[in-house]
A and B are shown apart, each in its own frame.
Chain A
Amino acid sequence: MNEERASEGPPRGSGGSGGAFSRTEGTRRAGRGATGRGGASAEGAAGGSDAQREPREQVAADVPVARGGRRRVAAEPALDVGDLAQALQRSVAAIGTAGPPRAGLTRIRRRAKARARRRTVMAGGAGVLFMAMAVSVLTGNSFDIVPVLTGVVGLGGGGGGGGDGGGAASGSTSPAADGPGQVRTVRPTGGLKGPAIGPGIVAATPSALVASGVGACGATDLTTVASVDTVIGGVSYGHVEAVAMRTCAVAGPPVLQVDNAAANAASSVVILQHIPSDGSQLPQVPTWGTVLVLHAGQGYDFQFAWAPDTCPAASSSAGPTGSSAGSGGGAGVAGGGPSAVTGTAAGSANAGEYQLSYLVTATSPTSPVTLQASCGATVYVTDVYERGAYPLPKPDSATPTPPPSSTSAAPSSAAPPPPPSTSAPAPAPSSAAPSTGTAGGESPGAPAASPAMGTSAADTSTGQTAGP
């Protein structure tokens, strides 16, 4: 129907949009009702010069020009632009008569927000990826970006000494825990009390090193010796000495990793920056995140304090609850820790035993020391400093504590030193958890060998996340 209207538009259109029509027909004023006068409108090429106010007019004026170019059309009826407008309106008048969909705006908002969120995530991920790539390019091979990526993407998992045969709930792993049973941390800011700040922050270390102009120290460039020196008031104090074998640079703060056989270190051990008010007797190293450039033979130190947490009073009843080996991890995470710790039972009696190792490049562990804690622990750590710049803490009184283990061995997961349970005066009955273990012997290196109940009991007893 609109066909006629469009083609024979002028007669009808004269009613609706007479103004436009008459203007366009200004080329031939008399022709309002007469459409078929192609010849008349052809002469409108000249009439088009009466440029009136509306730009629409000019198009209309152009039409005859074009037509003039094409003689063929000269006899066609004129198409009035005023009617074209009306005809277009009429053609689509039936569309959308119901008005905008009621839920449309809500849907639009929701999608826009979802898209913005997605864009933010993508941009953030791309930015981090770019940074990581740039850093890895700048620092050569000394920096492994894989933990950064896994941390960012939230995949978790890819920890260092993965000896766990049990099913790690990788889906629920939060970036805080690098893997089952590990705390690979340390970039806690002052006063922050929480498990493992993710490896994404660890990535900052190499970028700080770039400014030094010297390659970062790798594990092979250093001879590191970690030792526990003394125990004061139940707190074990130790330090790590590292000597460079070639010129390289190292950035603080040191990155520590804590493992234990029960694989719940991530939820039970907290690593914090040493501050004067934390009560430890570590020296006050003013820097945090310094960069040291070492030449061959030079070295650096840092100190740490291992403060076992006091067990809850009712921990003696932890035995029966640990009978479900699979759910031990869930029970062990009390303080908001990630539930990455599944009940991979390690039927060892060394449930209170932790291996603390120093990661030189934030990825490769070196020379673990073994420490004891029945119910979790807090680690305080200083920044790195030049060798011997600060004294080691000395026991005040006659504390009968011979310095226990000092190992500089390779980072094997077993590392079973003689159980120093007697030397580490844990305040709680540290033998409570092991006593329920089925394997009475000491088999620290066999995590999944005997899925006994004892470890789950240890989970619940040691899993009470570190108190303040």
Chain B
Amino acid sequence: MATDVDVTTDLLTETYQRHYTSLLRLAALLLDDLGSCEDVVQEAFIRVHGARARVREADKLLAYLRQTVVNLSRSTLRRRLLGLKLAPKPMPDAASAEEGAYAALEKDALIQALRGLQRRQREVLVLRYYSDMTEAQVATALGLSIGSVKAYGSRGIEALRVRLEEQR
């Protein structure tokens, strides 16, 4: 029993070391400020920590984390839509090192175009092409059918193309 706990704890540590950055970037693609991204990723790890007794495989752990990040990002956006639209979240002090990266992100045309997409489309594209998940995995993570994933993906790419073209 104790070894199980140790194993899962180590798994969590390893996952944290290896995938924290990619999860942070995933959140950055889904969200629009870095402070929220860090909160979201940290929250995802907290939840995984609570569920670590149930999740013992690295793949599933990562999938769980990604799904949690997507869901939390969605909630964050929704919350912001509801109430915090007027007050954009200030950048946290600790993230000063990331500010440059964040500023670059703000100027990135692709990112801007991505943010203009519908939420579902954006999620599908990011999971599909940034996280390199299969359509089936994306469908599982987003709770959609594979057909919907295909549709969102194709329309998302189309819309992205239009937006990029408009930005030129």
Contacts and interface: CB of A to CB of B under 8 A. Distances in A.
A116 B50 CA distance: 7
Interface stretch (B56-64, B69-77, B83-91, B104-112): B104-112
Interface in A94-123: 94-100, 104-105, 107-109, 111-112, 115-116
Interface residues of A, number: 47
A193 B167 CA distance: 80
B80 interface: no
A93 B101 CA distance: 8
Interface in B10-31: 12-13, 16-17, 20-21, 24-25, 28-29
B150 A62 contact: yes
A65 interface: yes
Given A63-B157, A100-B17, A88 B126 contact: yes
A384 B104 CA distance: 80
Given A7-B168, A63-B154, A100-B20, A95 B108 contact: no
A12 interface: no
Nearest to B45: A108
Q: Is the interface of A mostly helix, strand, loop or mixed?
A: helix
Given A66-B157, A98-B98, 14 more contacts: A2-B111, A59-B128, A62-B153, A62-B154, A63-B161, A77-B165, A84-B125, A91-B110, A92-B28, A94-B105, A97-B21, A108-B42, A109-B49, A116-B50
27 contacts: A6-B113, A56-B128, A58-B150, A59-B128, A59-B135, A59-B150, A59-B157, A62-B150, A63-B154, A63-B158, A73-B158, A73-B161, A77-B165, A81-B129, A84-B129, A88-B130, A93-B25, A94-B101, A94-B105, A95-B21, A95-B105, A96-B98, A100-B20, A100-B21, A109-B49, A112-B47, A112-B49
Interface of A: 1-3, 5-7, 55-56, 58-60, 62-63, 65-67, 70, 73, 76-79, 81, 84-85, 87-89, 91-100, 104-105, 107-109, 111-112, 115-116
> Which 10 A-B residue pairs are closest in the complex by CB-CB distance?
A3-B109, A62-B154, A94-B101, A100-B20, A112-B49, A92-B25, A96-B21, A79-B161, A6-B110, A85-B129
